[in-house]
Amino acid sequence: MSHGKKYRAVAEKLDREKSYSLEEALQLVRDNKIAKFDESVEVHIKTGIDPKKTDQQIRSAVSLPHGTGKNKKVAVITSTSLEDAKKSGAEIVGGEELIERIKSGKIFSEDGGFDVLVATPEMMPKLAVVAKILGPKGLMPNPKTETVTTKIKETVDALKKGRAAYKTDNSGNIHQVVGKFSFTDEKLLENIKAFIESVEKVKPVSLKGKLVRSISLCSTMGIGFKIAV
């Protein structure tokens, strides 16, 4: 990946091996802002899991106290709670016809897609036919992220207020947006701490040793700064 002149100029001054306190890292991210738009602030965690072992893969969710700064577009698919779903605040609501729209791709091309899909349990077997479409997009409902539920309104409310799903990638790393540059330091710090604490609580039983190996903080376009762990 190639970077612009401003990014490279910051990178040349940076000691990539040095670790900072969370507060120091956040200040460095702010001081070295490159983009002119309201960037997202991101936390990247390198874990000690073996990504080849399915029993060590992590998939969970965290309720960020101040949200991510992005209004999530929520879709709900159900055959038992349509009225509740329509009152929940979800942007897209339906039953089996939604599966057909996902299958055809129309829900993405015509409706602009969605950020989160919530499903009631009875719909999960029916969603199997579109798992290969939803899975790579990170949109397949999962009980571990609390997106398979009978509590539609409570779940949509939580998603709108800041619940965010996360999982380990193919390298065993976890990435999460924790707010925007326009957030106050206090709000960003509270979100970051909530996310890190959430990850530490989901250490796989089969993992020996530390779960969190390293943490870095960055903005969308900026350099990452290591946080002391």
Find out whether 70 and 191 touch, Cβ atoms under 8 Å: no
pLDDT band at 4 (very low <50, low <70, confident <90, very high): low
> Is 51 inside a domain boundary?
yes
pLDDT in tens, 15-42: 667 899 999 999 999 988 888 899 999 9
DSSP alpha helices (H): ranges in the chain?
5-13, 22-31, 82-87, 96-104, 106-109, 124-127, 131-134, 152-161, 185-200
- The answer to whether residue 51 scores a pLDDT higher than 70 is yes
Domain of residue 148 covers 74-161
> Is 5 inside a domain boundary?
no
86 with 55, same domain? no
Strands 19-20 and 40-47: unpaired
pLDDT band at 116 (very low <50, low <70, confident <90, very high): very high
User: Domain boundary residue among 107, 127, 161?
Assistant: 161
> Is 124 inside a domain boundary?
yes
- The answer to whether residue 13 scores a pLDDT higher than 80 is no
208 with 188, same domain? yes
Q: What is the CATH number of the domain that holds 221?
A: 3.30.190.20
Structure tokens at 124: 């999960």
Half-sphere exposure of 85 (CA within 13 A, CB side): 20
Total domains in the fold of the chain: 2
pLDDT in tens, 118-164: 999 999 999 999 999 999 998 999 998 999 999 999 999 999 988 99
Find out whether 25 and 159 touch, Cβ atoms under 8 Å: no
pLDDT in tens, 77-91: 999 888 888 899 999
Average confidence (pLDDT) over 7-12: 61
> Is 108 inside a domain boundary?
yes
Give the span between the Cα atoms of 49 and 197, in whole angstroms: 17
93 with 145, same domain? yes
pLDDT in tens, 162-203: 899 999 999 999 999 999 999 999 999 999 999 999 999 999
